[in-house]
Amino acid sequence: MKLSDGFDARRLRPRESSNWRPRLLAMLGALFATFGVLLAMAGSATLLGRPPALGALNDSPGAAGVLLLLGLLLLWGGIALWRTCRRRLRRANDLNMAPHLMKKRD
């Protein structure tokens, strides 16, 4: 197959963009997940009858339940943000070709 003179393979690859934004967001997501685990552990410790881990912040079972729920939501959101950013960081090296031009797989 003959390549035309106007073909440039560098156009298939994306331009190198700065990776500091997705990396920063991935670190922030990991930090949110860590804080979520700590809050969930503090809330569940109070619900299980252990002394309050955060002092007067979760003395009652209602406040401990709120802390547990907030910790689980923060954990879920942090993991989702971290996974999304990691996926975007790894996808940056793919070729910019239309899917119908790729090889067919059975």
Asked whether residue 81 is assigned to any structural domain, the reply reads yes
Distance CA 98, CA 27 (A): 32
Q: Is this model's pTM higher than 0.75 or not?
A: no
Asked whether residue 106 is assigned to any structural domain, the reply reads no
What pLDDT was estimated at residue 17?
67
Asked whether residue 101 is assigned to any structural domain, the reply reads no
Asked whether residue 52 is assigned to any structural domain, the reply reads yes
| Nearest one of 92, 68, 80 to 26, comparing CA atoms | 80
What pLDDT was estimated at residue 50?
73
Tell me the average pLDDT across 53-76: 85
Asked whether residue 4 is assigned to any structural domain, the reply reads no
Asked whether residue 8 is assigned to any structural domain, the reply reads no
Q: How many domains does the chain have?
A: 1
**Amino acid at the residue 22:** P
Residue 48 banded pLDDT, cuts 50, 70, 90: confident
Asked whether residue 29 is assigned to any structural domain, the reply reads yes
The single residue listed with the structure tokens 């860590």 is: 34
Asked whether residue 98 is assigned to any structural domain, the reply reads no
Q: What is the DSSP letter of 100?
A: G
Two tokens, residue 67: 């802390």
Q: Which domain holds residue 44?
A: 20-93
